[in-house]
Structure 1
């Protein structure tokens, strides 16, 4: 990993991600940064202190983005609910309407892991990738690895 929780709290001034899950989101961010920078950080992490701090800030920003996305996914998952009991008890859904005649109950529709959600995610991958890139671009524009190559340069 390219940064630490200590950097996240003391230099990035982050307070969104709890320490017990920071490593999970930090590792995801490092993996994505490697893709965005064409693996230039793997062998060429900047030795310049300012450049190294900008890389670490980019990772922290991306980790927070992944943390927010994960939180939204959990909310959507919880809103779908699952019928667990024979009596029809539903866990995790909000009742929106109840009818007495013919015993009709209507629940709020969430976006759990259903085929429509997967289809939406596939259609929205481009938007998500752009958001990830825009998040790190703010920090990595003009930053060079220890070999002098721009991290975001896509050329040869």
Structure 2
């Protein structure tokens, strides 16, 4: 029996179409440190439209937080009402994760991307919240206005906007 990771009270569940949960979870854990597949649960066969042995649930850890991926079927789709935010150290990490996750570059806006399964992600450099929390309202406005013009967030441009 596989040992479970430490308990986490709230565990987000991501609903995927049939047979996509394992592929998505494996892709996500390949992107960030402290990530791994924890458990794969196979269907006993009496799950609606399931076949015995099909992957039903994938429990995984992504950057230290636990998630569940469910092969729930085509009834529900991801939308922008829920997104996962990744705080990035620098522009290199922003670029790497945007390249990896963005399946529709034309849909990128303000650091938001949509992956090939339709899940929305926010790729945010650490500098952005710091700049948006500046005590000077003029700095905050310039940074916000610059951000709103960007698809992929650019740290150097945000810093330039802050300086005026």
TM range (shorter): under 0.3
Higher Rg: 1
TM-score normalised to structure 1 length: 0.22
Structure showing greater relative contact order (alpha-carbon pairs closer than 8 Å, 6 or more residues apart): 1
TM-score normalised to structure 2 length: 0.21
Report which of the two has the higher share of strand.
Answer: 2
Report which of the two has the higher share of helix.
Answer: 1
